[in-house]
């Protein structure tokens, strides 16, 4: 082997390591972004329930920790679905259904909000809450430029909902205060999920 060929081989090896390093950093960055966006998506609802209604900051912190672990598992499932189904509505619908259903199982068997244990719990809203934790980051992190309109709608709705929830905390009447946060949570997350799925589905069907 000549000196030049050895030198070139060393450069290639160094380039391969650099490429692998960028790939690892990129994968880690996407994972962290997914978990962060998903946790923020849930944070408004968690704050309404834990802080605004119960005054329990410790419960909020515990919920955030659980959500981060949950989102880690969901992200791995999402990657597997993307590998099997591709980047399209089927993968998005699948991860939404899996995330929402798994979240309901947590609500039913760990928290006690099952239909038989707590008949007052709104099951559709709880499903939407957990489903949005996956759907929102999945859409916002997708690089398809055609999704820009639905991304804007998601962010606008999230901003309005967050501001409304914060303003609602100032309601003095306890009964109205309670009802406001419960029903804004119900309609807020159901509407957010509808924006995600309908908007994503329409754009992918059009394309």
* pLDDT tens-digit map of 162-196: 999 999 999 999 999 999 999 999 999 999 999 99
Please give the residue range of the domain that contains residue 170: 3-206
Q: Decide: 42 and 70 in contact? Cβ < 8 Å.
A: no
The rounded distance, in Å, linking the Cα atoms of 158 and 164 is 10
Classify the C-alpha dihedral 117-121-124-127 as positive or negative: negative
pLDDT at 128: 98
pLDDT at 22: 65
Structure-token match 């919920």, residue found: 63
pLDDT at 17: 59
Q: How many distinct structural domains can be found in the chain? A: 1
Intervals of the chain under pLDDT 50: 206-207
Classify the C-alpha dihedral 157-70-140-104 as positive or negative: negative
> Greatest CA separation found in the chain?
85
Q: Which residues of 74-91 are buried (b: 16+ CB within 10 A; e: fewer)?
A: bbeebbebbeeeeeebeb
Structure pTM? 0.88
């Amino acid at each position: 082997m000549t000196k030049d060929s050895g030198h070139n081989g060393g450069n290639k090896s160094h380039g391969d390591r650099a490429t692998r390093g960028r790939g690892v950093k990129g994968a880690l960055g996407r994972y962290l972004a997914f978990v962060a966006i998903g946790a923020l998506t849930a944070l408004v609802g968690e704050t309404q329930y834990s802080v605004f209604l119960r005054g329990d900051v410790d419960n909020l912190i515990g919920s955030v920790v659980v959500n981060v672990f949950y989102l880690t598992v969901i992200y791995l499932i999402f990657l597997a679905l993307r590998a099997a189904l591709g980047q399209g509505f089927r993968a998005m619908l699948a991860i939404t259904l899996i995330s929402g259903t798994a979240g309901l199982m947590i609500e039913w068997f760990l928290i006690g909000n099952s239909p038989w244990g707590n008949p007052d719990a709104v099951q559709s809203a709880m499903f939407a809450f957990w489903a949005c934790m996956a759907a929102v980051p999945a859409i916002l992190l997708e690089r398809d430029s055609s999704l820009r309109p639905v991304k804007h709608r998601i962010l606008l709705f999230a901003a309005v909902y967050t501001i409304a929830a914060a303003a609602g905390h100032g309601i003095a009447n306890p009964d109205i205060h309670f009802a406001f946060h419960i029903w804004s949570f119900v309609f807020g997350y159901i509407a957010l999920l509808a924006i995600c799925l309908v908007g994503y589905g329409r754009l992918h069907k059009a394309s």
